[in-house]
Structure 1
Amino acid sequence: MDQAREDWSPHSAHWGAFSARWNGATLDIRPYEEDPAPSSILQNFTTAMRHKARILRPMVRKAWLDRSARSERTFDQKFVACPWDEVLDLLANELSRIRTEYGAAAVYGGSYGWSSAGRFHHAQSQVHRFLNMAFGGYVRSVNSYSAGASAVILPHVLGGYEDVSRRNVTWDQVAEHTDTVLAFGGMALKNSDVASGGISRHIERDAMQKAARRGAVFYGIAPLRDDLPEEAGARWLPIRVGTDVALMLALAHTLLVENLWDSAFVARYCTGFDIFERYLLGRDDNTPKDAAWAAGITGIPAATIVDLARRLPRGRTLITVSHSLQRAQYGEQPVWMGAVLAAMLGQIGLPGGGYNYALGALGHTGRRFNAVPIPTLSQGKNGTSEFIPVARVADMLLNPGESFEYNGRSMRYPDIKLVYWAGGNPFHHHQDINRLRRAFNVPQTIVVHESAWTPMAKFADIVLPATMTLERDDIGAAGTDPRLIAMRRAMDPVGEARDDFDIFAALSRRLGVEQAFTEGRDTRQWLAHLYEPTRKALAEAGCDAPDFEEFWERGELALPSAPDDGGFLRAFRNDPLNNKLPTPSGKIEIYSKAIAGFGYDDCPPHPAWLPSTEPPDARRPLMLIANQPATRLHSQLDFGAYSQSKKIAGREPVRLNPVDAARRGIADGDIVRLFNDRGACLAAAAITDDVMPGVVQLSTGAWYDPEPGAAEHPLCVHGNPNVLTRDIGTSRIAQGCCGQVTVVECEKYTGALPAIHAFDPPEQD
């Protein structure tokens, strides 16, 4: 058994800085003392480190070892434990075979970048660096499940995604200057609890409270009341799921016809308004996009829409659009239309006003950037040009060689023979899990580095046990957080777990590229090497710049922040001729000639109302919102103490409105079955009027736990909503994820309650 430790080790997670101490049985957690609102997700660590779900030894699927009798992968097949040297030799031979027979374009390097806040033990960087060194490249993914549509549409409309979402309006500006916040999709604190690389101070709640006390009014336009915190004092405008564009168009229509818009701003800073104006007024389709039209679509009364439009020009107004709106079919449209609405108000580039995509969607947004660089591990050069939008992984595996459209390009899916996954659980992120199961049966080999028996690990062929963050040394840093954290190891690795770096170094040695991968450094030397650019920049700026050993002993280091100057949109507003936007016209593109040239009927050349092709009906009358959880990051540490404490009978809670529950004879705490044509899952009913009628909300991240058997669509007994969601692209321009919403029916479950095996290790032979 691990020995208890007296010393507290400084550390960091994506959801907060903290200190940890192993007491011999569980982990003691002490949040960072300067954090005014530490996240409860930290408590997941307390019981996770030695949980039964941890992977203790290298494992290989028995059916994969017997190549002559290769069978379909399932979640209940046996594994064989292998010594490290044996499994590394086996894997090196398999990698060599794939490289020789098929080349680098037959390997998909899967990772999602959230495995650790550490900048060296960053699984995504490690696996990509290894594949670049060992294979000369790999098929990569672009964009993200969270922002797949916005990352493509924003460069056409305003400029770089990072600039619009992060180098723009700050929380300090909102607290001081903003009079009205129109938050489409809300600003849920559970989302801003998290920032890649760590976060030392959670400031969002305090900023909203300060703004509200000053008199600012927040409007939460969402189907869920609590998508804005109580401190914001928000006015809730319940809106039918997926109809935000219709509301935005009606607001714009009222501004136009009542001459409340800033025509001078639009004329100087925008292009294409005349074409959009014809659509807005209905000159070509005889359908003015007015408040009466929008009321029938959104469920918001026309008078409320008109009154809201009249308020917007009266003071400093900020339009925000959350990630959630663009994680749906035609998700590009609300992102684009939100920018157009802000442009018509003429406040883009003003402190606390204008447009900020995804403010509050992550702990990165609304903060000043650091004035010095943070440690970053180079991934090397990828010699393979082929890529896919990240949410199209199942399409790629199921349809090798098939053509698809992406951002004006005609491309083909590569033929993948080996998937190498380190960091992330696609059976959480991806939609239509039953389809994903079929897709992951296509590759010849799946390799996974993982610390616990996630569904992805159980579906892999070769599973290599990786350390968890508290079992290794690292440096925690984010580009928008003013603290560099020495993430000191708090306990020994479990079982035979190894760092990803050590695994890849051993494989590199077998493949003859060890020097290229390691550059002759061990972990400690790498940490000192990655720290040096930060130290040098601090010294040049006249700031405290200790050497690595002193920084490591201190445990943290302050980083200076860059000025809160409003970023490129402020510069554009001040001088649009010399500070043109990085769009084709150099202006805000209300109408895009480039997109018009693509000829996509699912993404017109100006923002437009495009109703979903899967609306509710008599068979599936409810809209399911599959949003991010409040008890964990994605599916990480779902077995942790805090995540488990919020489940009901071990199952993920699904929230229903009392009206919908009563119609179905469902009481609070009942186990219910959610289902549609794609699949079904069990969840536990939580009845609340914080969810509008006609809507049910089930967070993502409950580990996929299919009921044993050979059914094509097995019941997930644990509550994973992605057995229900659609696996289609947002449109041909972005091919983003549509996993936020889908249609379902819900009924009380009356059968024998199946046992939960989500966290049980697989059977060993």
Structure 2
Amino acid sequence: MTETPHGDAEGFRPHTSHWGVFSARMRDGTLEVKPHAGDPDPNGIIDNFPAALRHRARIAQPMVRRGWLERGPGPDSRRGRDEFVPVSWERALDLLAGELTRVRDQHGPGAVFGGSYGWASAGRFHHAQSQVHRFLNMAMGGYVRSVNSYSSGASSVLVPHILGTYEDLTKRNVSWEQIAEYSEVVIAFGGMALKNSMVAGGSISQHVERGAMERAAARGCRFVLVGPLRSDLPVEAGAEWVANIPGTDTAMMLAMVHTLVTEGLHDQAFLDRYTEGWPIFLRYLLGETDGQPKDAAWAAPICGIPAEEIAALARSLHGKRALVVVAHSLQRAEHGEQPVWMGAVLAAVLGQYGLPGGGYGYALGAIGYYGRRYNAVPVPTLSQGRNKVADFIPVARIADMLLNPGTTYRYNGQTRTYPDIKLVYWAGGNPFHHHQDLNRLRQAFARVDTLVVHELAWTATARHADIVLPATMTLEREDIGASSNDPLMVPMHPIAAPYGEARDDYAIFSELAGRMGVGQVFTEGRTARQWIEHLYERTRAALAEMGRPAPSFAEFWRSEGITLPQMEDDGGELRRFRIDPVADPLPTPSGRIEIFSSTIDGFGDADCPGHPVWLPRQEVPQGDTPLFLVANQPATRLHSQLDFGGHSTGAKHRGREVARMHPQDAAARGVADGDIIRLFNERGSCLAAVRVTDGVRPGVVQLPTGAWYDPADPEEERSLCVHGNPNVLTRDVGTSSLAQGCTGQLTTVEVERFEGNLPPIQAFEPPGALPMAAE
């Protein structure tokens, strides 16, 4: 089916991304983009597209690593250092089909790890994670999968034990509409940074967070930011800034609860009716179990905040429609479960759960689809089929798995065993962005027989692959953009022809499936366009059943998008629970908010006991690494995507990512604003430009993630990253035995002014390639 390309009067055609709906056109060979007209606060990340579309970092044709091509599959320390050999699509697919068949037949599907983190495209059909998992299920019989996410690895395991459904807590509980209308005080531990809520899984047509906070502040709502970075709330919130020491939020919350309880300002009636285990926790809080009351005087030196300030903040919450927010960032650290749990306790002590604009808004602002209404009809989704392999790992434990096959680890009360992985298949993701201790990750990837990557550009992951298949960018294919929490469903029109020989994932997997005898099973006889029409029908039929306008696919495709009906902002499980805890208990073991969890206590893991506690960090600033490093999300790109785009590169200084540090710390090291600095610790080192600002707490340096890993000398085991990737510095350890989540938010470093000649940045240059291989 073909149509005349749709566009407005100027030739712009609709498209969308994880960071916003937009429209685009090609004019005189140049890509032009403009944001969706209905977006009140458009995200500038769309400006990465024009420079990225035809950038030299794009992959033009299939490539095979020289060592793998010459010697065959097997562990190889040359990954990431070797040259590549261009091959035809036929040769690449034949080689790959043969290797997949070998691994399946000799080792079984349990020797395959299906990577792909899910952020590749806002399109619901060309969703790389769904495509690769569907293929592996049908061609291989399954694969070892990962569970949870780098963003919420600790909280997504903890929350079902203590509060119920994780998705309900984050998406159906407290909305931005409620904050704008009802909240009297919002205390945000770790903040609600707009750079985070500017992106969402799927599409996002309206960025409402800034406006909601501005309206709330104008109404008189008080915002309090607790965290080391002043920018973690927008200026429109007019927030008070409590700049605590990183990683000490649990101690501060304990002290606040101690103040409320000892001064009789807590809601005992709420605790009695709605919570489980309060008396057990209370004995710990008052020091009856360990001899140490968790009062403000105890917390002050831990947090770096005066005791009276902590106590006064606690008192100011009493009697108010108070919302406690704990950011994802706090649980991306050692003992990350504890601040999430303690935030839930603080909210319970205040008794505001289930009230509009009050209670506990866990991770509100961490991502664009939190705090929004659900659509009342389903959006298109591609079935991944059935995975016959039961084995899995927590997502942040991939290096552990590859380095330690056959060893055991604890996870959510279980003792599990790492599988022996021979082949890793990655499509739509870059672990050299989101994983920690990249030198360790390099060693891990050297162990496998084969690493396969679909990628549109030469990321560090692609450079470490054995078989690299060039994938199209979203602008080079058609799809449907949608999210379960955004009302606009968008026809994603192709704007440009594919770069070089790039193909979409579906085309690649269709040919591979044919070679492996499951072509019909994988494609079901449909072309990509036919799949898109087929997936649209689910939404159209649901609209028709509701009696709503249900345009045909052709009508949808000619439109700028259709607006889907949304559910009421009803507060979800927690609102129903507050109204009637007997008729609508929470889906926890007790049916109530579990301040003490007998289940977790029964696991017997000392690093996550049965109620929230203060557990000091093992890694603290001292000696050779006297500064905290906060490695948070970037503002100019989604993770590491399109780091070579104009919006991202325009924010760098002298080509390097920009770190921020306090004037006091800079002066002590002879560092001036705009200098190039070297950040280092025992794991590695990197260069960055520096901005000297009082917007960070003294003793803290902040460097966002996402700069493409760029070792000065790939032959060195711990080579200097010249571009500014902080994950050469972060620790690759789990949050605790409960969740094994990512701890990449915090580590410790030293900083010095970089002297001498600056190494060139090679991150966006294609790797060395040999002449085309003979067929």
Q: TM-score scaled to structure 2, two decimals?
A: 0.97
Indicate the residue corresponding to 1:45 in structure 2: 49
Equivalent residues in 2 for 1:637-648, closer than 5 Å: 637-648=642-653
Contact (CA 8 Å) 2:73, 2:449: kept in 1 or not? no
Q: CA deviation at 1:208?
A: 0.1
Distance (whole Å) between structure 2 residues aligned to residue 128 and residue 380 of structure 1: 8
Distance (whole Å) between structure 1 residues aligned to residue 523 and residue 223 of structure 2: 51
Distance (whole Å) between structure 2 residues aligned to residue 24 and residue 680 of structure 1: 43
Return the letter of the residue paired with 1:352: G
Distance (whole Å) between structure 1 residues aligned to residue 28 and residue 327 of structure 2: 42
Distance (whole Å) between structure 2 residues aligned to residue 282 and residue 637 of structure 1: 51
Indicate the residue corresponding to 2:249 in structure 1: 244
Indicate the residue corresponding to 1:8 in structure 2: 12
Query: Of residues 655, 676, 682 in structure 1, which corresponds to 2:660?
Result: 655
Indicate the residue corresponding to 2:505 in structure 1: 500
Q: Secondary structure at the match of 1:334?
A: helix
Work out whether 1:57 is the aligned partner of 2:61. yes
Contact (CA 8 Å) 2:79, 2:465: kept in 1 or not? no
Query: Of residues 560, 569, 578 in structure 1, which corresponds to 2:574?
Result: 569
Query: Of residues 142, 149, 170 in structure 1, which corresponds to 2:154?
Result: 149
Question: In structure 2, do the counterparts of structure 1 residues 430 and 322 end up closer, same or farther at CA, with 3 Å as the change threshold?
Answer: same
Distance (whole Å) between structure 1 residues aligned to residue 302 and residue 577 of structure 2: 36
Q: CA deviation at 1:160?
A: 1.4
Work out whether 1:622 is the aligned partner of 2:620. no
Query: Of residues 275, 283, 289 in structure 1, which corresponds to 2:288?
Result: 283
Return the letter of the residue paired with 2:406: G
Distance (whole Å) between structure 1 residues aligned to residue 71 and residue 407 of structure 2: 28
Distance (whole Å) between structure 2 residues aligned to residue 150 and residue 666 of structure 1: 38
Q: CA deviation at 1:483?
A: 0.3
Distance (whole Å) between structure 1 residues aligned to residue 127 and residue 620 of structure 2: 40
Contact (CA 8 Å) 1:22, 1:491: kept in 2 or not? yes
Query: Of residues 584, 587, 596 in structure 2, which corresponds to 1:582?
Result: 587
C-alpha distance after superposition, 1:148-173 (max 9, x if no partner):
00000000110111111111100000
Contact (CA 8 Å) 1:20, 1:27: kept in 2 or not? yes
Distance (whole Å) between structure 1 residues aligned to residue 575 and residue 765 of structure 2: 53
Q: CA deviation at 1:73?
A: 2.5
Q: CA deviation at 1:318?
A: 0.2
Q: Which runs of 5+ in 1 are unaligned?
A: none
Work out whether 1:762 is the aligned partner of 2:758. no
Distance (whole Å) between structure 1 residues aligned to residue 713 and residue 316 of structure 2: 56
Distance (whole Å) between structure 1 residues aligned to residue 29 and residue 360 of structure 2: 49
Contact (CA 8 Å) 1:137, 1:384: kept in 2 or not? yes
Distance (whole Å) between structure 2 residues aligned to residue 709 and residue 62 of structure 1: 16
Identity percentage of aligned residues: 63
Contact (CA 8 Å) 1:76, 1:763: kept in 2 or not? no
Q: Secondary structure at the match of 1:601?
A: coil
Q: CA deviation at 1:709?
A: 5.0
Q: CA deviation at 1:516?
A: 1.0
Query: Of residues 196, 215, 220 in structure 1, which corresponds to 2:220?
Result: 215
Work out whether 1:702 is the aligned partner of 2:707. yes
C-alpha distance after superposition, 1:346-378 (max 9, x if no partner):
110000000011001111011111111111111
Q: CA deviation at 1:77?
A: 1.5
Q: Which moved more, 1:19-28 or 1:310-319?
A: 19-28
Indicate the residue corresponding to 2:758 in structure 1: 753
Q: Secondary structure at the match of 2:224?
A: strand
Q: CA deviation at 1:74?
A: 3.6
Contact (CA 8 Å) 1:179, 1:217: kept in 2 or not? yes
Return the letter of the residue paired with 1:228: L
Runs of 4+ in 1 over 3 A off after TM superposition: 68-71
Distance (whole Å) between structure 2 residues aligned to residue 69 and residue 283 of structure 1: 60
Q: Secondary structure at the match of 1:108?
A: strand
Return the letter of the residue paired with 1:170: S
Indicate the residue corresponding to 2:637 in structure 1: 632
Indicate the residue corresponding to 2:773 in structure 1: none
Question: In structure 2, do the counterparts of structure 1 residues 429 and 651 end up closer, same or farther at CA, with 3 Å as the change threshold?
Answer: same
Equivalent residues in 2 for 1:232-381, closer than 5 Å: 232-381=237-386
Indicate the residue corresponding to 1:692 in structure 2: 697
Distance (whole Å) between structure 2 residues aligned to residue 7 and residue 235 of structure 1: 47
Distance (whole Å) between structure 2 residues aligned to residue 124 and residue 54 of structure 1: 20
Indicate the residue corresponding to 2:745 in structure 1: 740
Indicate the residue corresponding to 2:423 in structure 1: 418
Distance (whole Å) between structure 1 residues aligned to residue 152 and residue 521 of structure 2: 33
Distance (whole Å) between structure 2 residues aligned to residue 26 and residue 254 of structure 1: 61
Distance (whole Å) between structure 2 residues aligned to residue 210 and residue 314 of structure 1: 22
Q: CA deviation at 1:650?
A: 0.1
Contact (CA 8 Å) 1:26, 1:49: kept in 2 or not? no
Q: Which moved more, 1:727-736 or 1:535-544?
A: 535-544
Q: CA deviation at 1:198?
A: 1.2
Distance (whole Å) between structure 2 residues aligned to residue 68 and residue 415 of structure 1: 19
C-alpha distance after superposition, 1:647-687 (max 9, x if no partner):
00000000010000000000111110000000000000111
Equivalent residues in 2 for 1:426-575, closer than 5 Å: 426-575=431-580
Equivalent residues in 2 for 1:375-390, closer than 5 Å: 375-390=380-395
Contact (CA 8 Å) 1:600, 1:732: kept in 2 or not? yes
Distance (whole Å) between structure 2 residues aligned to residue 277 and residue 400 of structure 1: 42
Distance (whole Å) between structure 2 residues aligned to residue 545 and residue 311 of structure 1: 51
Distance (whole Å) between structure 2 residues aligned to residue 284 and residue 385 of structure 1: 41
Q: CA deviation at 1:547?
A: 0.7
Contact (CA 8 Å) 2:258, 2:286: kept in 1 or not? yes
Q: CA deviation at 1:618?
A: 2.0
Q: Secondary structure at the match of 2:309?
A: helix
Q: CA deviation at 1:284?
A: 1.8
Q: Alignment length, in residue pairs?
A: 762
Q: Secondary structure at the match of 2:486?
A: coil
Q: CA deviation at 1:69?
A: 10
Distance (whole Å) between structure 2 residues aligned to residue 24 and residue 261 of structure 1: 66
Distance (whole Å) between structure 2 residues aligned to residue 112 and residue 521 of structure 1: 26
Contact (CA 8 Å) 1:318, 1:342: kept in 2 or not? yes
Contact (CA 8 Å) 2:73, 2:450: kept in 1 or not? no
Indicate the residue corresponding to 2:119 in structure 1: 114
Q: CA deviation at 1:694?
A: 0.2
Q: Secondary structure at the match of 1:60?
A: strand
Distance (whole Å) between structure 1 residues aligned to residue 452 and residue 41 of structure 2: 39
Work out whether 1:67 is the aligned partner of 2:53. no
Distance (whole Å) between structure 1 residues aligned to residue 73 and residue 300 of structure 2: 60
Distance (whole Å) between structure 1 residues aligned to residue 268 and residue 543 of structure 2: 46
Contact (CA 8 Å) 1:92, 1:510: kept in 2 or not? yes
Question: In structure 2, do the counterparts of structure 1 residues 312 and 58 end up closer, same or farther at CA, with 3 Å as the change threshold?
Answer: same
Distance (whole Å) between structure 2 residues aligned to residue 213 and residue 265 of structure 1: 30
Distance (whole Å) between structure 2 residues aligned to residue 320 and residue 700 of structure 1: 23
Distance (whole Å) between structure 2 residues aligned to residue 751 and residue 418 of structure 1: 42
Q: Secondary structure at the match of 2:382?
A: coil
Contact (CA 8 Å) 1:168, 1:366: kept in 2 or not? yes
Q: CA deviation at 1:68?
A: 6.5
Return the letter of the residue paired with 1:19: S
Q: Which runs of 5+ in 2 are unaligned?
A: 771-775
Contact (CA 8 Å) 1:487, 1:555: kept in 2 or not? no
Q: CA deviation at 1:511?
A: 0.3
Question: In structure 2, do the counterparts of structure 1 residues 499 and 68 end up closer, same or farther at CA, with 3 Å as the change threshold?
Answer: closer
Distance (whole Å) between structure 2 residues aligned to residue 450 and residue 88 of structure 1: 15
C-alpha distance after superposition, 1:50-69 (max 9, x if no partner):
00000000000011011179
Q: Secondary structure at the match of 2:130?
A: helix
Q: CA deviation at 1:25?
A: 3.6
Q: Secondary structure at the match of 1:477?
A: strand
Distance (whole Å) between structure 2 residues aligned to residue 511 and residue 311 of structure 1: 66
Query: Of residues 401, 404, 409 in structure 2, which corresponds to 1:404?
Result: 409
